[in-house]
Amino acid sequence: MNIIAQTARLLIRELTPEDERLLLDLDADARLTRYVKKRTEQESKKVFKDTLRDYQKKTGMGRWGIFNLADNDFVGVCILDYSEFDRNSIELGYRLHLKYWGSGIATELAQAIVSYGLNEIGLKEICAVTHPENKASQKVLFKAGFQPHGRAFWHGDDLPFFKVSRSTF
């Protein structure tokens, strides 16, 4: 398994076949999909299978598991990859289990992934969108260096659009 980044509290790594149930349970929790696309279990299984297959491309980007360093608890999932809505944009996304909300974990994660993307794999820019009502995620993006750049029609909705670039990070 390939480790993407490590922070004081988190290990961000490629998922393994044994991690499938973790992602399926995350996708099945309606509280965690309030602001993101909801998937059926079959859709989640396909995303998981595609994720494992995409690791073979060795792009340095993808969907990864987030684990608590203290006890190896599954915190959630994050993504740094080409946006399905604009293939010229690299998008950051994340979803965390409810018990980790409000603990600073999302900010720690976003900062680590932005640093990884801009400094380790040499991206020039990373973008992100949030649901207009998801003020907590918007706050996380600001803390991770993102700046607002208008709106974008992504994920079937008109959403606040954010960017961070190597020159501003």
CATH code (residue 110): 3.40.630.30
Query: Is 10 inside any structural domain?
Result: yes
Segment 59-110, tens digit of pLDDT: 999 999 999 999 999 999 999 999 888 888 999 999 999 999 999 999 999 9
Q: Which domain covers residue 100, as residue numbers?
A: 3-123
Query: Is 133 inside any structural domain?
Result: no
pLDDT of residue 150: 94
Query: Is 134 inside any structural domain?
Result: no
User: Can you tell me whether residue 151 is helix, strand or coil?
Assistant: strand
Number of domains in the chain: 1
For residues 69 and 152, which has the higher predicted lDDT (pLDDT)?
69
Query: Is 23 inside any structural domain?
Result: yes
Average pLDDT score over the chain: 92
Q: Closest Cα to residue 64, out of 27, 85, 93, 32? A: 93
Query: Is 61 inside any structural domain?
Result: yes
Tokens of 62: 């993808």
Segment 30-54, tens digit of pLDDT: 777 666 677 889 999 999 999 999 9
Q: What angle, rounded to 10 degrees, do the helices at 135-143 and 105-115 form? A: 50
Q: Closest Cα to residue 53, out of 111, 120, 45? A: 45
